Structure 1
Amino acid sequence: MSQPYKITGLHGVFPRLEIRKLYEDEIQFTLFIYALHAIKQPDYRPKPARFQDMGGIHGLPYERWSGDPDAPDALPEGIWGGYCNHQSVLFPVWHRPYVLAIEQSVGEAANRLARRWTEDTEHVSEDVRKTWIDSANKLRFPYWDWTDKNTETEGLPDVLKPQVFQYKLPDGTLSDPIENPLAFHEFGSVQPDGFQDEIFQTSMARGGAMSFFKSWSRTYRWPSSKVNPIEDYVKINKLLRGSAETRGSAKQLREQVGRLFCYPAPGETVEQQRPSIWDEFSNTLFKPGKAGWDGFGCGSIEQPHNTVHLVLGGLGAMANNDYAGYDPIFYLHHCNIDRILAFWEYTYSKYWVDMGYYKKDGDGKAIPFTQPEGTWDERNNAPIDRKTGLQPFRTKTGEYWTPDQTRFFNKSSTLETGYTYPDIVAEVNGKQQRVSLTDRLPETDQQVHECKAVLQTHFGVCEKGPLAKLHLKETTGYTAIPEGHRLVQDYQRFYTFVELVGHAFNGSYSLQLLFKERVIASFAVLSRGDATQCASCRVRKKAGGQVRGIVDIPDEVVGEIIESRKKELDTADDIVEALANFIKESLSVRLIDAGGNLLADAVARPGVPGIRTVGGEGSRLEEAITPVVHLRSARAIRKVDDSVVVPARGQLPKMGLTFFNHSDHGDLLGDQEWKTI
């Protein structure tokens, strides 16, 4: 009987490095590239540690992972529903042992390479041998930080693009040249079972772009819709960098991540509310108010995750969860998601999935979160909580990992994960401050707000005061400012709350917000095709499963609208509501598929003034898949640093920012309606 491949992590605790930083260390990068190349080979052993076997965990071929051969199976004989944990409170924690598994495989291969390359002691000195062995021991899987400000100018780092690598080995000889294993994965002569070509279309828009998954022998990024495609790295860079006409994804992504650190401190919440905060943070299925608690408008880690998948994928593997696990960049991307999660749970250590959520006026008993249809081994709506097994990943004791065991600050002797992340540093209140995962967890609300201030500054969350010229009334129409906080003057954040149908278009797609015909923000839906074998995805499709998220309207756009309507705003009785109406008049929305092709457009009805009109073209979008987009706004407050005495006219030190007093200004589209192409 086969034994499971246990995910134990590597020996010792060393930092995962950003891929560009790892590239600067020639020895570690050489080991990493050749180890990754090694585990991609069809004859690599152990088989569960093969790259292609691990890639299949995330989707196709929908069969038991060889690393967990004797797993239980609740589905009928011959049916396998997959390990899907997307749109779930388990989304970020399930991917943690997944990344750890690929790190472990690469680390094991790197150690074997280092020993093999240095065994010829006649040509390799003891010092050189020790250097290479130490480098292999310290090697951890890198992350690609798409929030790095340099992404706005550089786009995708060159090290992730096709090229040939060749490096000097310990004995002074050159290694064999190999194609960059980070750029794609070659399936070889036989693809995994189940690959098939897929087309994006609706019942009213029959034409569409084709993804030739069945014909392609390797993974592609932004491929043309051809059997022999060309990858469009220019397009990827354009999406990441942005331009004067199109808001850059990197800027939006960074700000989205920054707003994840705008949740209130634990002492500013009700204890029973905390699992609902984890729900909102962890996934895009969350619906404010489902448990009687209002949402905080800070968003989910799954939202920027989805956007990156579509930015990199186009019609290729990364934009379809059935294939995404085969693209090497998938793991660098998820390593960055794991890094963000590590800093979030360090800051908000008291927010957790726990044993379930609570109704605001309920009986005080926890209501378990559920997984619609579960996965391959769980019944429909099976309860999930902090003790749920994260199949197929087993610990060193042979049990399945649980959410509790994934927590980054869990340092028990049986669950040492072997990695950490570099500190995050930012200039706050005139000096360099840092958040370090090796420090003690923040214990007081003030310490939480100090962490928030650093992380918000690093990720670009700031208040620019676009309403400064409107002289907002600070006392009328607003809820009481929480004790120990001060209102951020002349700042009103405008954002949209979006609800989309996840499986509306036979694949992934995006909603784009437009201002003056230019894209200012977007929201991505990461989906599988209609033919997917994923049990959870099929149930969500049948139920018309909603994907929800928050799309901010950039402050500079709000400022531009204010300038154009300044006279009317000066005489408005309710400045915020008047401005909200002007914003609704100024914006439009459209849907595009993963390849950037138009699916549907929100246009003005005939005879009604609007952004644009359509004559006899197009058909009305089916009501069942029509997006819901509401305009909302919120004020911002900052915690007062109670350790500093400030003169009456002095400048208060900046602490963490929190949004409060959220207002719903109704349907963004107003008199516009959805038309398909």
Structure 2
Amino acid sequence: MAGLRVRRNFWDLQDEYDKGNKKPLDTLIRAFKGIYELSPDNPNSFFFLAGLHGEPFRGAGWGNASWWGGYCNHGNVLFPTWHRAYCFALESALQSIHGCKDVTLPYWNEIEKNTQERGIPGAFLKKKWTFEDGGVIDNPLYSYKFQQKITDNLPSSRDDADYSKGDGYVTCRYPYSGLVGPADKEKTDAHNAEINKLGDDKVNQILNENVKSWLLHTDVDGQKGRGGVLQKYFSCLEAPNYTVFSNTTSATQWNEDHFNEGLPTSATVSPRLVQHVVPLESPHNDIHVSIGGFEYGDGHFDGKYPGANGDMGENDTAAFDPVFFFHHCFIDAMFWQWQKEHGKTKQLDIIPQYPGTNSVDSQGPTPGTPGGTWLTLDTPLDPFQLPGTTKTMKSKDVIDIETRLGYTYSPIKGLPRKTPSAAAPDAAAPGAATPDASRANLVRISGINRGIIPGSFVLSTWTTTENGEERLVGFHSTLSRWHVQGCANCQTHLRVKTFVPLYGLSKDQASKVTVKLHTRDDPKGSTAREGGKPIPYVVGHLLGKE
């Protein structure tokens, strides 16, 4: 790794700081302070860079909900590569600040012991930052104060669907609310006033407990972590090819291609039984909503703070919360880990015309991209340019981070121990078999129309124990945008389908699961329905194809 910039584990910086070596973290804070103070129209400013992800919208999506007005890619094969280029741009901006040329963007390791036990690193939870020389500033990792307003120009049938943010707005996390449009401000002010009464230490505890609960969901058998975000991160590394690893749309189709109704019998338990695919985007979504306002504690979605609406919880303003970039740096580290384990550090393959490879899949086309465009490794990663050139980056430019981008990652602590795998199967023939039948039972949930749900939402699966206790089995979160109901170009892709593993359930329990829908309007959740009827779901398993 000689000559490479090393992106370190944020927890290592935090621990060094706590033990007296304050310079590395102090320098990172100075770099963020520097880009916060740049003019909003400066391409290296935090406002400019954070605004590339979602709001302030541009292009066709500025005032037309039929298009996505942000540049970010979600629900398609560009999700990992676009966000890799995004983190690279943010890191380059940090290095432009005087005295910070050697700064690298650390990753918040979301699977290691520190996160499991403590939640979010303490540096993100302080309102003020005290440098080693005694200087005190508003902590740029705690929140960002808008330097100018962003205006929601999208029409909506909902009276309360104005998600503008005024000059001086300060980003927030669970359990606070950041909805400050005309119809929401009074309710938000009252909600936040009640949260403030709890005190900073209690508020931070509430946030950390929520993140840990999402991460370490305890299944029906009492196994901590199985079925939660931690297990999803482990499972995504087993995805057999880049297409299904990269995004939720492609992974859902792969699982559908292999789905067989009914629980496996002795006749079907064979090496052809395969585990469902978990894409990298899935645990990514869960961490977003855990910080952005969906409460999950003690095995239940309790809804103790129903007014919580943090910025990380929707794509519109998520990138304005500084923790966004440390979260996505970890997503990129896991992407690189998958590449190393599957022999894909030099080349990636996309299954042509597979679901998740079109610009209308999931979110709708980004600015400058026509509807119906097939996405490839040569699709521009707008608006990012290759260093020192005016050429737009493409996915093929960011595959090899060490040779092409000049950085690498310190080893990720907490990864499951296993023998490094050989190269993945050919991308055109996805599906690596495993004889582990117990991990293949799952429930297929379909019928949810996200076009009528403003913002992000969660689907949860439940069973009833012998003593009549309702127990959470698993969950699936959809990180969405506030105005998805207007996306005419992606209407055919608004029907949500997902597969939730039934870890720890007997055949009898698996056949009697129920499904709940948790929305911003109903965070505690109720039986998922459409047209007055419970949405359809089917219990089954996955088989490899001949």
Deviations 1:300-355 (A, max 9, x none): 11111111110001112111111111100110111111011011122224597646
TM-score, with normalisation over the residues of structure 1? 0.60
Partners of 2:434 and 2:523 in 1: how far apart?
Answer: 46
CA contact (8 A) 1:353 1:385 kept: no
Q: CA deviation at 1:210?
A: 10
Secondary structure, aligned partner of 1:178: strand
Quote how far apart the aligned CAs of 1:182 are. 0.9
For 1:512, give the aligned amino acid: S
Q: Does residue 335 of structure 1 match 2:336?
A: no
What is the SS of the residue equivalent to 1:262?
coil
Equivalent position amino acid for 2:318 in 1: A
User: Deviations along 1:515-554, whole A, 9 cap, x unmatched?
Assistant: 3323332110111112799xxx5532x3352344432233
Report if the CA contact (8 A) 1:510-1:591 is conserved: yes
Give the equivalent residue in structure 2 for 1:33.
29
Q: For 1:342-381, what aligned pairs fall within 5 Å after superposition?
A: 342-350=336-344, 354=349, 356-357=351-352, 369-372=357-360, 374-381=365-372
Amino acid at match of 1:178: I
Contact persistence 2:130–2:137 (CA under 8 A): yes
1:201-220 paired onto structure 2 within 5 Å: 213=165, 217-220=169-172
Do 1:284 and 1:548's aligned partners in 2 also have CA atoms closer than 8 Å?
no
1:427 to 1:210, Cα distance in 2 relative to 1, 3 A: closer
| 2:119 aligned partner | 155
Q: CA deviation at 1:510?
A: 0.5
C-alpha distance in 1 between matches for 2:457 and 2:283: 14
Alignment of 1:628-667 (within 5 A): 628-633=536-541
**Cα–Cα, structure 1 residues 520 and 159, in superposed 2: closer, same or farther, change >3 Å?**
farther
Partners in 2 of 1:193 and 1:492 — Cα distance? 47
CA distance in 2: counterparts of 1:531 and 1:284, whole angstroms:
17
From 15, 34, 48, the equivalent of 1:53 is 48
Partner of 1:192: 150
Distance in 2 separating the partners of 1:427 and 1:356: 28
Tell me which amino acid in the other structure corresponds to 1:530: H
Of residues 53, 65, 70, the one that matches 1:82 is 70
Match among 169, 175, 189 for residue 227 of structure 1: 189
Provide the C-alpha distance between the structure 2 equivalents of 1:292 and 1:524, rounded to a whole number of angstroms: 21
Deviations 1:41-89 (A, max 9, x none): 1548x8110001111101111137xxxxxxxx99999x98332411111
2:409: which partner in 1? 421
Distance 2:210 2:54 in 1: 26
1:622 equivalent among 493, 508, 531: 531
Q: Is 1:316 the equivalent of 2:331?
A: no
Letter paired with 1:311:
S
**Superposed, which structure 2 residues align to 1:185-584 within 5 Å?**
185-188=144-147, 190-194=148-152, 213=165, 217-222=169-174, 223-224=176-177, 226-227=188-189, 229=192, 230=195, 232-242=203-213, 252-264=228-240, 277-286=241-250, 287-288=252-253, 297-314=276-293, 315-350=309-344, 354=349, 356-357=351-352, 369-372=357-360, 374-395=365-386, 396-408=388-400, 411=403, 415=404, 417-424=405-412, 444=422, 487=435, 491-499=438-446, 500-515=448-463, 516-530=469-483, 537=487, 539-540=489-490, 542-543=491-492, 545-555=494-504, 558=505, 561=506, 579=507, 581-584=508-511
Q: Counterpart amino acid of 1:387?
A: D
Q: Percent identity?
A: 22
Distance 1:195 1:554, change over 3 A: farther
**Within 2, Cα distance between the matches of 1:510 and 1:93?**
25
The structure with the largest alpha-carbon Rg is 1
**C-alpha separation in 1, matches of 2:63 and 2:139:** 42
Distance 1:323 1:198, change over 3 A: farther
**Alpha-carbon spacing, 1:486–1:599, altered in 2? closer, same or farther (3 Å):** closer
The amino acid across from 1:262 in the alignment is: E
Gaps of 5+ in 1: 1-10, 65-72, 115-135, 169-173, 265-276, 360-366, 436-441, 450-480, 562-578, 603-619, 635-659, 663-677
Amino acid corresponding to residue 142 of structure 2 in structure 1:
A
Report if aligned partners of 2:456, 2:519 keep a CA contact under 8 Å in 1: yes
Q: Which amino acid aligns with 2:233?
A: V
Q: CA RMSD in A?
A: 4.2
> Distance between the aligned counterparts of 1:386 and 1:99, measured in 2?
18
1:108 aligns with 2:96: yes
Are the aligned partners of 2:371 and 2:489 in contact in 1 as well (CA < 8 Å)? Answer: no
SS at match of 1:288: helix
Q: Distance in 1 between matches of 2:367 and 2:401?
A: 30
Query: Unmatched 5+ residue regions in structure 2?
Result: 178-186, 197-202, 260-273, 294-308, 426-430, 464-468
SS in 1 for 2:380: coil
With a CA cutoff of 8 Å and minimum separation of 6, indicate the structure with the bigger relative contact order: 2
Q: Which string of whole-angstrom CA distances, capped at 9 and with x for unpartnered residues, describes residues 251-304 of structure 1? A: 71111111122245xxxxxxxxxxxx4332111122436997879612111111
* Residues 209, 517 of structure 1: alpha-carbon distance in 2 compared, 3 angstrom cutoff: farther
Deviation string 1:617-655 (CA, Å, 9 cap, x unpaired) is xxx6337x9754332335xxxxxxxxxxxxxxxxxxxxx
* Alignment partner, residue 473 of structure 1: none
